[in-house]
Amino acid sequence: MPKTKQELESRGNFSDDEDHPLMDLDNGIVGWESQHDPENPSPFSSSVFAPAVGRTQQELGDTSSILGSLAVTSYLFGYGTGPFLFSPLSEIYGRRFVLSAANVIFVLFQVACALAPNMPALIAFRTMAGIGGSAGLTTGGGVVADLFTTEQRGLAMSVFTFGPLFGPVLGPICGGFIAERAGWRWVFWILAISGGLLTLLVMVFNRETNPIVLIERKTERLREELQNADLKSCYKTANSESKRNYHHNLLAPFRLLLSPVVFLISAYIATIYGCLYLLFTTVTHVFQDVYGWSTELSGLSYIGLGLGFLTGQAAFGLLGDRIIGHLKRRNEDGHFEPEMRLAISILFAPFIPISFFWYGWSVQSHTHWIIPIVGLFPFAIGAVGIFSSLQTYIVDSYTRHAASGIAAITVFRSFAGALLPLAGPPMYAALGYGWGNSLLGFLTLVMIPVPVGFYLFGWRLRRKFSI
């Protein structure tokens, strides 16, 4: 347990392989040229508070290590709840309305966090902010499916994935300086201000992309203009307006999560994501404890991860869609299969265990501080390749339910990201940094056969378990 003031401050199925075509609606093109993927500062918000936990606990009079970890990871419990609501609603009522409403929730509860009177209240408010922030992640996969063809989708998902991966790295770097210079409450005031501005921009400039909603709106206008009640959307079926079908759409994330394809892919992503957040909640403490860094400087320990994410992003962007094109040409009929997406993930997967062995034993041996920072670099490269390729695989496999597929992944990974960091401090206390990180390295090494198996045999499961 920390005893000095300095130590206290340091705590702190419809399954298909078809693409939605670009559509001419009211003489306008709905395509990537005229649209953008709506973003919010949600991923950044998930980790920006990490360096400020120690000061927050000191001010609020609560030094429990469990509550300190929950103050960071409770945001992810919200991430694990919101997608079950927002993703199916975005497939029924459209992406734009759902995203705007969720962003408002996100901003309001950032204000509540800034005014929190105690740690339990702060944890509750962070959870609610996470619920609102989850919509940007889960609807984003649907927007990519709406706007991009198969050949473009890999790069688009890589750009989309960059925010959820790089945001949590940038968060602690900024959070450390904000907490040191202005106080921990200003971490949330800045999130509320930036989030509010982006929410207004989304409300003004964002446009609907869901083809089902767009065609239905145009059909309704034509019914009125032509006085023809028999006109129906091409996406509508005989039972599409029934209560049963509504419940079918609303429960799509649950059904997808229970299918072997999404479950196993989600388990692998959740393992990597949980390890990532374990690093987020422990790296600053490692550099404060082992290397004597201050709260303000400790956020800079994430630079290795940040540079790794940038490198992985560039590598995936250059290689991803090219590999898909090569595999399509090798196919007898030139047909695209979603499993082709997984080829590149097999190349990126070994970077994760290598990073844990490197980082853990360099800290254990008290090497120069640059060595463990460089050791985190391969982890970030591997995470980009795994996240981008596996999430795109789900989008390709369940195109019309892409948002629900991403929701299922987000729920699984968010709970892993919230719970696994709680095991970090006792694990390091029992095993040390060397064997503790080696344990994570062996765990991620054992998971590598997941993308390999799906690359070879995934098509059978995908066609058997459609929704």
Residue 34 has pLDDT above 60, yes or no: no
pLDDT tens for 258-310 read 888 888 998 999 999 888 888 877 887 788 888 888 866 777 888 888 899 88
Instruction: Say if residues 399 and 12 touch (Cβ distance below 8 Å).
Output: no
What torsion, rounded to 10 degrees, do the Cα atoms 258, 261, 263, 268 define? Answer: 180
Which segment of 74-83, 232-241, 383-392 scores lowest on mean pLDDT?
232-241
Instruction: Say if residues 358 and 286 touch (Cβ distance below 8 Å).
Output: no
Q: What integer best gives the mean pLDDT of the chain?
A: 80
Spatial neighbors of 356 by CB under 8 A, at least 6 apart, are: 275, 379, 437, 438, 440, 441, 444
- CATH number of this structure's domain 24-209+251-464, picked from the four choices 2.60.40.3880, 1.20.1250.20, 3.40.1010.10, 3.40.50.300: 1.20.1250.20
Exposure string over 128-143, b if 16+ CB within 10 A, otherwise e: bbbbbbbbbbbbbbbb
- Give the pLDDT band of residue 148 (cuts 50, 70, 90): confident
Between residues 183 and 129, the one the model is more confident about: 129
Measured CA to CA, the distance from residue 61 to residue 58 in angstroms comes to 5
Tokens linked to 384: 């980009």
- Give the pLDDT band of residue 147 (cuts 50, 70, 90): confident
Q: What is the pLDDT of residue 364?
A: 93
pLDDT tens for 439-463 read 999 999 999 999 999 888 888 888 7
Mean pLDDT computed over 414-418: 78
pLDDT tens for 302-325 read 888 889 988 988 888 888 878 888
Instruction: Say if residues 83 and 102 touch (Cβ distance below 8 Å).
Output: no
CB atoms within 10 A of CB 197: 12
**Residue positions counted in the chain:** 467
Residue 356 has pLDDT above 90, yes or no: yes
Mean pLDDT computed over 247-255: 73
Between residues 436 and 231, the one the model is more confident about: 436
pTM of the model: 0.70
Instruction: Say if residues 409 and 395 touch (Cβ distance below 8 Å).
Output: no
Q: Where are the domains of the chain?
A: 24-209+251-464
Spatial neighbors of 37 by CB under 8 A, at least 6 apart, are: 140, 143, 144, 156, 159, 160
Q: What is the pLDDT of residue 113?
A: 93
Residue 30 has pLDDT above 70, yes or no: no
Which segment of 89-103, 241-255, 348-362, 381-395 scores lowest on mean pLDDT?
241-255
Measured CA to CA, the distance from residue 240 to residue 125 in angstroms comes to 38
Spatial neighbors of 281 by CB under 8 A, at least 6 apart, are: 50, 69, 72, 73, 421, 424
> By C-alpha distance, which of 284, 304, 282 is closest to 51?
284
Q: Which of 37-46, 151-160, 215-224 has the highest mean pLDDT?
A: 215-224
Q: What is the pLDDT of residue 248?
A: 64
Phi, psi torsion values for 78, nearest 5 degrees: -65, -40
Q: What is the pLDDT of residue 295?
A: 67
- Give the pLDDT band of residue 101 (cuts 50, 70, 90): very high
Tokens 């990532």 belong to 276
User: How much of the chain, in percent, has pLDDT values that exceed 90?
Assistant: 25
Instruction: Say if residues 407 and 84 touch (Cβ distance below 8 Å).
Output: yes
Residue 114 has pLDDT above 80, yes or no: yes
Measured CA to CA, the distance from residue 46 to residue 42 in angstroms comes to 6
Which segment of 27-36, 87-96, 121-130, 316-325 scores lowest on mean pLDDT?
27-36
Q: Which of 44-48, 78-82, 149-153, 398-402 has the highest mean pLDDT?
A: 78-82
Measured CA to CA, the distance from residue 340 to residue 325 in angstroms comes to 9
